């Protein structure tokens, strides 16, 4: 039987399509393969109850551990409606889910539901458009966050928290930091939601009753239903339209599933500071299997270098054997040995030869990956890099 500590609740708004659907799929895959999240209940909230077809269901199931216990509940709720109605509906949903599937050890709440609002310049936006947009993109997330906090940890302290661990994620955007023409309401909404996460982090700092962190994650530019107006030219800014079209032409748009995988990895690593804004381009790709193999080979070469100096301090150790490492990668990016380091087999071959004890002269006969080296010179030993 699964450990009680593995009971997890994942709440995602706007999960019927696009990025929201990708988040659900990638969360399911990752959590099902984590011992700490074997029993996970997904609570999906949206205006439309989307039924996934056979291909979508298969896509969601691929990669999910066979021993995982995953359940899903879909609740229809118009988050753009009056706040009083939204709050009452959310309270009822939480109560029913906790009664039916909880209590949960950990809770992830993903604020994904949003829209761009009118893609017009500020002087052309009507009062009704302002009111509707701010209610949906700012008022609703603000209200849902407060209701969740109150439900998980009641203010009166009469009862212990309903969850030991709470993570709240706001799907943000570069627009929260940078102004884009004809995107005033969208950018303002994203900036406000970032501040909401900072505010919660500040107010809950020092809480000892339960573990809580917030995060604003910018998934990058994608082609989804929300961004379709930019590709179709339904935006008052020609520069914004051209920017999106250029990204599609140059194949630089972000895949919803790829950015969702990075977000999930970020959440599970749990090393970010509460309230942080992290962009998809701030997250480095995971090292490939080949990169791990190269790193192991590098470590073996370094160990052989140390052994040779210990046995005979006068031996000359080829500096070329000290290959790029995880903390000093070739292109300056931190923390990753990139798979392209294996593009030249000479580097790996040189390392293998040195590990097997081939002479310096034999190794020098190999073409060098960074240009032709000088013939080895017999000179006084110099300190070697560690």
| pLDDT greater than 80 at residue 354 | no
Distance CA 352, CA 375 (A): 20
Write down the pLDDT at residue 8: 94
pLDDT of residue 357: 38
Chain centre distance of CA 218 = 9
* Residue 52 to residue 128: CA distance in whole angstroms: 34
Instruction: Write the CA distances from 85 to 81, 92, 93, 196, integer angstroms.
Output: 7, 11, 12, 21
CA–CA gap between residue 369 and residue 272 (Å, rounded): 37
Using one digit for the tens of pLDDT, what is the confidence trace for 118-168? 999 999 999 999 999 999 999 999 999 999 999 999 876 678 899 999 999
Alpha carbon dihedral 204, 210, 211, 217, in 10-degree steps, equals: -60
The DSSP-derived string for 163-224 is -SEEEEEEE--GGGTS--TT-HHHHHHHHHHHHHHHHHHHHHTT--SSEEEEEEEE-----S
CB 197 within 8 A of CB 182: no
Q: Which tens digit of pLDDT belongs to each residue from 239-288?
A: 999 999 999 999 999 999 999 999 999 999 999 999 999 999 999 876 55
What's residue 342's pLDDT? Answer: 30
| Cα distance between residue 281 and residue 261, in whole Å | 13
Rounded-to-integer distance, Cα 39 and Cα 144, Å: 24
pLDDT tier for residue 35 given thresholds of 50, 70 and 90:
confident
CB–CB of 317/309 below 8 Å?
yes
Class of domain 4-282 (CATH, top level) = alpha beta
At 313 the pLDDT is: 59
pLDDT value of residue 189: 98
Task: Tell me the C-alpha distance between 7 and 213, whole Å.
Answer: 18
C-alpha R_g of the chain: 26
Residues 191-205 have a mean pLDDT of 98
pLDDT score at 55: 57
CB atoms within 10 A of CB 147: 17
Query: Tokens 């359940």 — which residue?
Result: 71
- State pTM to two decimals: 0.73
Task: Convert the pLDDT of each residue in 276-302 to its tens digit.
Answer: 999 999 998 765 555 555 555 666 666
Domain ranges for the chain, please list them: 4-282, 289-364
Distance CA 367, CA 309 (A): 25
């Amino acid at each position: 039987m699964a450990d009680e500590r593995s009971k997890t609740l994942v709440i995602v708004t706007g999960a019927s399509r696009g990025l929201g659907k990708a988040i659900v799929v990638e969360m399911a895959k990752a959590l099902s393969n984590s011992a700490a999240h074997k029993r996970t209940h997904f609570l999906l909230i949206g205006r439309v109850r989307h039924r996934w077809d056979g291909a979508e269901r298969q896509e969601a199931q691929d990669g999910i551990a066979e021993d995982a216990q995953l359940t899903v509940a879909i609740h229809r709720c118009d988050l753009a409606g009056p706040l009083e109605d939204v709050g009452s509906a959310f309270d009822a949903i939480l109560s029913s889910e906790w009664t039916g599937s909880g209590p949960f050890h950990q809770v992830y709440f993903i604020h994904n539901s949003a829209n761009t609002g009118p893609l017009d310049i500020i002087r052309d936006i009507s009062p009704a458009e302002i009111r509707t947009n701010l209610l949906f993109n700012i008022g609703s997330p603000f209200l849902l966050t407060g209701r969740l906090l109150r439900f998980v940890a009641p203010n009166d302290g009469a009862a212990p928290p309903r969850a030991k661990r709470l993570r709240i994620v706001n799907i943000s955007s570069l627009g929260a930091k940078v102004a884009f023409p004809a995107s005033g309401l969208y950018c303002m909404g994203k900036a406000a939601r970032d501040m909401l996460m900072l505010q919660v982090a500040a107010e809950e700092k020092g809480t000892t009753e339960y573990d809580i962190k917030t995060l604003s994650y910018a998934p990058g530019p994608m082609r989804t239903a929300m961004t379709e107006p930019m590709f179709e030219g339904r935006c008052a800014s020609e520069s914004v339209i051209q920017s999106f079209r250029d990204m599609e032409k140059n194949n630089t748009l972000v895949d919803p599933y790829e950015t969702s995988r990075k977000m999930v990895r970020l959440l599970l690593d749990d090393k970010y500071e509460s309230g942080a804004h992290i962009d998809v381009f701030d997250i480095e790709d995971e090292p490939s299997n080949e990169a791990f193999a190269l790193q192991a080979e590098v470590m073996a070469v370094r160990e052989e270098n140390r052994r040779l100096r210990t046995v005979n301090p006068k031996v000359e150790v080829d500096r070329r054997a000290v290959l790029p490492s995880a903390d000093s990668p070739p292109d300056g990016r931190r923390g990753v040995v990139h798979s392209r380091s294996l593009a030249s087999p000479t580097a790996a071959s040189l390392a293998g030869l040195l590990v097997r004890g081939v002479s310096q002269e034999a190794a020098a006969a190999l073409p060098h990956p960074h240009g032709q080296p000088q013939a080895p010179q017999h000179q006084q030993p110099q300190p070697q890099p560690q």
